[in-house]
Amino acid sequence: MSLVRIDRLFNFEKGILQSSKCVPGKYDFITASSEWKTHNEFTHNCEALIFAAAASGSLGRTHYVNGKFVSSDLCFILTPKDPMNFPVDLKFYHVLFNDLKDEIVRPPDPVTN
């Protein structure tokens, strides 16, 4: 088994909606918070990981979603890039990313880099 760069496994797309723009609706509105919100519109209908990339208190939190949703502009939406050549188990990566959250978001050590 060989290692594959994360950018070969996933497409990365920035969410579009400010977290404060939640409205009552039937679609999941996924933000950096542990609590999901709702919205009356969706942008995606798929299986994905939502990675909080710009929310200081929740930096690195990852959500798994499968269905219709919209995501906060503080998050990235990760979807499999090449499932035929690189099958990805998103539930596995959800657990892995959350377990490694502190290492993923830690700034590089200037002494070793």
The pTM assigned to this predicted structure is 0.87
Element (H, E) at 89: none
Residues 36/29, Cβ–Cβ less than 8 Å: yes
Q: Which amino acid is at 80?
A: P
Classify burial at 23, counting beta carbons within 10 Å of its beta carbon; exposed 0-12, middle 13-18, buried 19 or more: exposed
**Distance (Å) of CA 112 to CA 50, 83, 102, 107:** 30, 35, 18, 12
Residue 113: the pLDDT is 55
Mean pLDDT by 10 residues, the chain (113 residues): 88 93 94 92 97 81 96 95 93 93 76 63
| Fold topology of 9-103 | Adenine-n6-DNA-methyltransferase TaqI; Chain A, domain 2 (3.90.220)
- 3-state SS, residue 24: coil
